[in-house]
Structure 1
Amino acid sequence: MTQPLVHMIGAGPGDPELITVKGKKLIEEADLILYTDSLVNPELFTNVKEGAVVKKSAGMHLDELVDIMAEAALQGKKVARVHTGDPSVYGAIFEQMKKLAERGIDTKIIPGVSAAFAAAASAKLELTVPELTQTVILTRAEGRTPMPEKEKLVDLARHQCSIALFLSATLIKKVVASFLEAGWTKEDAVVVVYKASWPDEIVLRTTLGRLQEDMRKHRITKQAMVIVSKAADEKRLQSGNFESKLYDKTFTHGYRKGEKVYE
């Protein structure tokens, strides 16, 4: 007998065309679709199969979610648990998978486009510009959910790399204070993307010093990705030479021999 299965599907950031082909196919084949209605675009469910049950999960607690999925899966039905962005980042999937496993139900994760990368795309950012920043930290400011002691924002910010902040739009005062304490300046660049890839998306380019005021002006208090990065500083990018070795005509690699430069 085949083990009961629940698919955890990343729906992407909002644009219904940014889901994977596999994720879209599984949704269209599912008998039960349980989706995070506060952030997942309902347009994803316009072509579900006849008789499919589509339920919103924002108002449910963990045991309710698991009961609904387990009942369907144990009956041999195809279950699609649809999360915003990519389920592996702030998806709260571990607790669901653990409880499903206790009932003999397996899970499979289908990755999706994270809001962090959708926001970078909307703002036309490369988060890893050569010789400027080569590391990206995905994190959040500490709110009602505490952060592990070694993951305080002020400590992470000291790395001076690209930092994408989830779930932090209501904690901007704390965010700014943490970055300034870590050695950033009020002139350092910040990009805020509200509802990345949605029709009402807003891309806000600002600085740490103006961040609170500019977010207040645009009434951005939720559903926003905040990216603090040297790579968001357009003036610095234009004034410096940050070209990669990959396409440098003098650089030799496995697919191309570099040209000699004669002075």
Structure 2
Amino acid sequence: MIHFVGAGPGAEDLITVRGQRYLEQADVVIYAGSLVNPGLLKSTKETCEIYNSAKMTLEEVLEVMEQADREQKMTVRLHTGDPCLYGAIREQMDHLDELGIAYDSCPGVSSFCGAAAALNLEYTLPEVSQSVVITRMEGRTPVPAKEKVAAFASHNATMVLFLSTGLLEKLEGQLIEGGYKEDTPAAIVYKATWPEEESYICTVSTLAETAKAHGITKTALIIVGDVVTHHAYERSKLYDPEFTTEFRQGVK
């Protein structure tokens, strides 16, 4: 069996209980060394074979999985955050399907959740924003034409951008072109939940300037929208004494 496991956003104690148990039981671990906290590997068995996929091709990763399956070893494929976001897991799963090798997924805490925690932020404030767009800038790898940042920006919803820290000047232009005002609140969160975590509040037009001032060039999330500064919002209906729910009768 191969378990695709979300390592969480960085802190060693933010992996799930299930993910931790799989790591403790694993005979083979293939981890995304460019982003996963290596401290998580301390819980593996002494006999566990550990591979850093940052130095491997897809074919090499699959070869390790196939060999482990032939030897009836339990494998953990350890991805950063939650594997379903920018984890490149589908191509691995499709190959395993072709070979008839069993696998499953263990979700993890995504770094976009860790970034919100760093800022004590709620992404969905009533009457401010009820949607979160998770996307990235187009760099060396393209994005579908209909998913350009400018197109998403036209909604003025909360936006969280992965893999875009090295493209902030272009990002600013795309956000403004799409409809965000230059003074729209924004934030840069570097290595959310790691010991070296840093977070900075700025605006759409000062994203590049802020990152440069603090020497941030990678491993950061960008958050855009009025929720960043806890913009004036409406009280939640769920806890409004006048609002009737399945569990209590509202009183006027």
TM range (shorter): over 0.9
User: Structure 1 unaligned runs (5+)?
Assistant: none
Matches within 5 A, 1:110-129: 110-129=106-125
> Partner residue of 1:190?
186
Deviations 1:18-67 (A, max 9, x none): 10000000010000011011111111111212311111110100100000
Determine the structure 1 residue equivalent to 2:74: 78
CA distance in 1, matches of 2:95, 2:71: 17
Aligned to 1:62: 58
Q: CA deviation at 1:233?
A: 2.5
Distance 1:168 1:241, change over 3 A: closer
Partner of 2:6: 10
Whether contact under 8 Å (2:151, 2:178) holds in the other structure is yes
The 8 Å contact of residues 150 and 179 in structure 2, kept in 1 or not, is answered as: no
Q: Distance in 2 between matches of 1:97 and 1:226?
A: 29
Q: Is the Cα–Cα contact under 8 Å of residues 188 and 233 in structure 1 kept in the other structure?
A: no
| CA separation of 1:241 and 1:62: change in aligned 2, threshold 3 A | closer
What TM-score comes out, normalization by structure 2 length? 0.97
With normalisation by structure 1, the TM-score equals 0.93
1:251 pairs, out of 226, 243, 252, with 243
Q: Does 1:163 align with 2:159?
A: yes
Q: In 1, distance between residues paired with 2:238 and 2:135?
A: 29
Hey, what's the Cα distance between the residues in 1 that align with 2:192 and 2:18? 22
SS of residue paired to 1:58: helix
Report which of the two structures shows the higher radius of gyration computed on alpha carbons.
1
Q: Which amino acid aligns with 1:89?
A: L
1:229 aligns with 2:221: no
AA in 1 matched with 2:197: E
Distance 1:208 1:146 in 2: 23
Deviation, 1:183, is 1.5
Q: Which amino acid aligns with 2:153?
A: A
> What CA deviation, in whole Å up to 9, does each residue of 1:162-206 have, x standing for no partner?
110000001111111111111111110001100000000001111
Q: 1:138 aligns with which of 119, 122, 134?
A: 134
The change in CA–CA distance for 1:29 and 1:244 in structure 2 (over 3 A counts) is: same
Residue 91 of structure 1: how far off its partner (Å): 0.1
Instruction: Identify, as 1 or 2, the structure richer in helix.
Output: 2
Please point out which of 171, 174, 180 is paired with 1:175: 171
5+ long unaligned stretches in structure 2: none
